[in-house]
Amino acid sequence: MSNVITEQLTQAGQKIEHDSFAIVDNEAGSHEAYSEDEWQIIRRMIHATADFEFNGLGCFHPKATEAGIQALVSGAPIVADVEMICVGLSKPRLAHFGVHTHHFIADEDVIAQAKMENTTRAVQAMRKAHKQGLLDGGIVAVGNAPTALLEVLALIKQGAARPALIVGMPVGFVSAAESKDALSELKEVPWLITRGRKGGSTLVVSALHALLALAEAQQKNA
């Protein structure tokens, strides 16, 4: 039996999505490097971008999918670097698990502090999330700002924060690839990244939607 909450709302929409996934499966080539659950995430990322390079660019901590599913099932918060991620996530799917999203990059106090300390808004936004206790046990979702990812890594290394999962996919040319490489060396916190310069909010949203679908399937099979 297929999922209910994390499927498209109409039969026509479901057919288009399922047909698209079938095309991805047929054209993607070998994906033996990924587990079955990991492939569900990668193929949704390909589906969202029509870019088959993510079959290879997507990389997982060994416990990433398990940690992400458990965090969502338990209603853990999602802390995003930008509003676009929060807007892109399906509200009914999040509500099913009692998950709330948070972003602080446009907050006046964040902007003021960034100007005062000559840092980025993304850095201050993650510091604010940390002060509010949202990073511990939460899912950190970064699609745009490498400095947000680097700040979270610094907090983890200081022993100040312990997210359940980091979806690190900042896009760009300055520190994007380097921040993801640094995250990939982390052992104590599960992560999901895209190697190199490619990334973005669309990919983060698609990865989280795939995790939500896996979480619903696990609920139904429990």
Residue 206 lies in a domain: yes
Q: Which two tokens stand for residue 99?
A: 């998950």
- 3 within a domain of the structure (yes/no): no
Q: What angle do CA 109, 113, 115 make, to 5 degrees?
A: 120
- C-beta separation of 163 from 156 below 8 A: yes
Q: Is the dihedral of CA 110, 187, 68, 132 positive or negative?
A: negative
* Residue 47: active-site member: yes
Asked if residue 115 is part of any domain, the answer here is yes
Helix (H) or strand (E) holding 80: strand 78-80
Domain contains 216: yes
Q: Could you give the angle at the alpha carbon of 79 between the alpha carbons of 73 and 84, nearest 5°?
A: 110
Candidates 47, 96, 103, 130; catalytic one? 47
Strand order in the sheet with 58-60: 58-60, 191-194, 165-168, 139-142, 78-80, 101-102
Q: What is the pLDDT of residue 1?
A: 44
* CATH code: domain of residue 211: 3.40.50.10230
Distance CA 68, CA 207 (A): 10
How many separate domains does the chain show? 1
Global pTM value = 0.94
Domain membership of residue 75 as a residue range: 56-221
Does some domain include residue 41? no
Per the domain annotation, does 62 fall within a domain?
A: yes
In this predicted structure, what is the pLDDT of residue 3? 75
Pairing label, strands 191-194, 101-102: unpaired
Print pLDDT tens along the chain (222 aa).
467 777 776 777 788 888 888 899 899 989 999 999 999 999 999 999 999 999 999 999 999 999 999 999 999 999 999 999 999 999 999 999 999 999 999 999 999 999 999 999 999 999 999 999 999 999 999 999 999 999 999 999 999 999 999 999 999 999 999 999 999 999 999 999 999 999 999 999 999 999 999 999 888 776
How far from 150 is each of 19, 65, 127, 180, 182, CA to CA, in Å? 38, 22, 11, 9, 8
